[in-house]
Amino acid sequence: MEIIQQLYFKISAFLSSEDFLQAVFNNRFYLILLVVFLMRLKYATYRSMWVSALVNVPGTLLHELMHYLVGAFLNARPCNFTILPRRNLEGDYVMGSVGFQNITFYNAVPAALAPLLLLPIGFYLNRYFLPNMVPTLLNYVLYVLLQTIIVENAIPSRTDFNVAGKYFSGVMIYLILFVCLLLML
C-alpha cells in the first residue's frame, strides 16, 4: 500500500511541476492530441442515444440558445425549444431544435446562423480567461473541453443552412452587409 501512495505522490508531483505544465500549455501538439482524444470519446458515445444526448447536452444547449436569443431579438417569435434528442422523418437523431412562428427575409439568416456567435465567445475566453487561469493540468483539460464544445457547436447544421438559404433576398442583404463590413476594416 505504501508503494502505491509513493507512486501516486510522485506522479502527482510530476503532473503539477512547472516544467511539465509549461510543456503542455505551450505545445500545440498536445493541444491537438487532447482535442482529438475528446472528440473520439464523444463519438464513442454515439452507440447509445441517451449517453450521446448526455454528452451533447452542453453544446446543444449553447447552439439552440443562440438560435432562440437571436430569433427573439429579431422578432422571429420562437415557439418551442428542446435539447432532448428525437428521431426525424429520415430516421436520424436530432439533438435539439428551436421552432419559430415568424421567419421572414430579414430574420431567417441571422436566426439560422446564430450559433456562429459562439465563436467570439470562444475567442474571448481564450484571450482573457486562459491567461488568468491557475496553471494546472485539470484546468487545462477543462478549458480545452469547454473550447471544443463551444467551437464544435458554433457550426450551423445543414438544417440551419437550409433555413437561411430559403430567403434569397435576406441572403443578399446580409451578404452585401458582410462585404461592406469587410471593406470598412
Q: What is the DSSP letter of 114?
A: G
Reply yes or no on whether the pLDDT at 42 is more than 90.
Answer: no
**Cell 449553447 belongs to which residue?**
62
Q: What is the pLDDT of residues 63-112, one digit of tens each?
A: 999 999 999 999 999 999 988 877 778 777 778 899 999 999 999 999 99
User: Greater confidence, 110 or 32?
Assistant: 110
Burial (0-12, 13-18, 19+ Cβ within 10 Å), 124: exposed
Q: Which residues contact 41 (CB under 8 A, 6 or more apart)?
A: none
102-147 pLDDT, tens digit per residue, is 999 999 999 999 999 999 999 999 999 888 888 888 888 888 889 9
Contact at 8 Å (CB) between 78 and 71?
yes
Q: Is 77 left (phi over 0), alpha (psi -120 to 50) or beta?
A: left
Determine the residue type at 62. Answer: L
